[in-house]
Amino acid sequence: MNGIYSKLGHLIGIYDLNDDPNGFIFLSISGEEDTKAVVSILKGIRGVGKSIKKDGTLKESPVLDFGDISYKHPETEELTIHTIPMKVFWDNKKKEFKERLFEIGVKNLLHSRGGFFPTNFIGGVASGSDFFNREEKIEEIKKKLRKNNLIISAPRRFGKTSLLFALKVESINNWFPVHIDLERIHSPIDFVAHLDASIKTGNELKRNEIIEKIQRETIDWKRKGDKLFEENQNNQYLLLMDEFSFMLDYFEPGGEVDRFLHWFYLKRKQYDNFHFIIISSIDLKVYVEDKDINSSYFDDLYSVKLDPFDRETGMLFVESLLYAYEVYPKENIAIKIVELTGYLVPFFLQIFTAEVITYYAKHKSITNNDIDKIYTDHLLGPDCRRYMDDFYNHIVRHYGEKRARRAKVILNKLSISDNGCSLNELKSIYKEKPGEIKDLEILLKYLAYDFYIKKEDDHYRFLSHLLREYWKRYQ
């Protein structure tokens, strides 16, 4: 065992409804803990056991010597015992048990999601225990899906794709899940081909063969699409479609977008055995206004918004990441990390915490003063710039060249203005020609959706302090 642990503690077994063990936690006691705190933690753990009784049970046993567990508790054989200092589940300021922190970890083991705490998997699709605390959102989506097709909107790096993959493994109503990455689709026939292939097979090689055959042989994409829906009307499908607006940007300008959207809308209305969840990193309401698209093509889609973490969830997330890497600071640095991050995008918290973990591994200790230094010198330093550049690249890629240049001018001004700018000030910066005021309004809506800016007291200013500091340094 690591030297930070003691042999004395409590073994918590996590069992499913068949009374089979799914995992174990050893809460080590160092002797520094207040007796009342230990009693309160154990009482709180029993409360968690009651809250999960519809899924499983908790069994607690005092342990005098960790080395004795293997023969005194043979049920632990071949299962990982997650060793965690008991004190991390005690809020010393509030004098209370950290119930949510413990319960999230218990549910991860109970549902075989991986580790007790999440790993810091930056930038990829998070799954298992790494997909953190979106259970309420998943339940909301499942409830709304009973009567509606859905569109889930959120900016980049909010975890939309991870949410889609979590929904894919949920087995919602036993519907057959089909995931399609729409960023790879450049035309209506591409859409039909990918949908057909994805329904027929999960094998990537066979799927690509089907796509190529359809693209090569199909003349009328509408007829092929009509046939696809007709042939599959006896089965229930959950279609998970990622980055819808990005796909439309690839279509030929003119009537192709309108023809496709009208056809797709009619198919959704006609075939109720197909259930749709559409993801967009662009605000579709603004996109429809911007591109002059008929908004009625989307009137069957119920909107679900994926928000940033609130303060409590952000704290839990940071603490979980720190404890996953055995960072147990004497000071509550999670509060400082959350305060400096400001707008709690999960991605921001991940890269900040990663720098903290690296610092701790090197120095073996960390304080709140160190957090300030890490924020200034590392998170906003050249090593992390590549992460933040992704947000600027999104503007360049999806706003259009002309708008991207104008966005940069506006954000440059806002980044150095503590009081923000009024709309009239931005008009003078924008230097629009007569009739172009709508373009400025559209741009401001896009920037607000992408959490760059907010409107407050008739002034526009940066929403994210972190993005503002990045912009001042590098753009």
Q: Which residues of the chain have pLDDT under 50?
A: 1-2
Q: Give the chain's domains with CATH numbers.
A: 1-116 (no CATH), 135-305 (3.40.50.300), 385-474 (1.10.10.10)
Average pLDDT along the chain: 92
Residue 194 parent element (H or E): helix 188-200
The pLDDT of residue 435:
58
Which pLDDT belongs to residue 4? 54
Confidence (pLDDT) at 434: 56
pLDDT at 431: 67
pTM over cut 0.85: yes
User: Are 106 and 98 in contact, with CB atoms under 8 Å apart?
Assistant: no
Range list of H helices, 239-332 = 244-250, 255-270, 284-291, 311-324
pLDDT of res. 27:
97
Q: For the segment 107-125, what is each residue's pLDDT rounded down to a tens digit?
A: 999 988 889 999 998 878 8
pLDDT digits (tens, 9 = 90+) for 311-368: 999 999 999 999 999 999 989 999 999 999 999 999 999 999 999 999 999 999 999 9
Which residues make Cβ contacts (< 8 Å) with residue 58, sequence separation at least 6? 12, 13, 14, 15, 45, 46, 48, 49, 52, 106
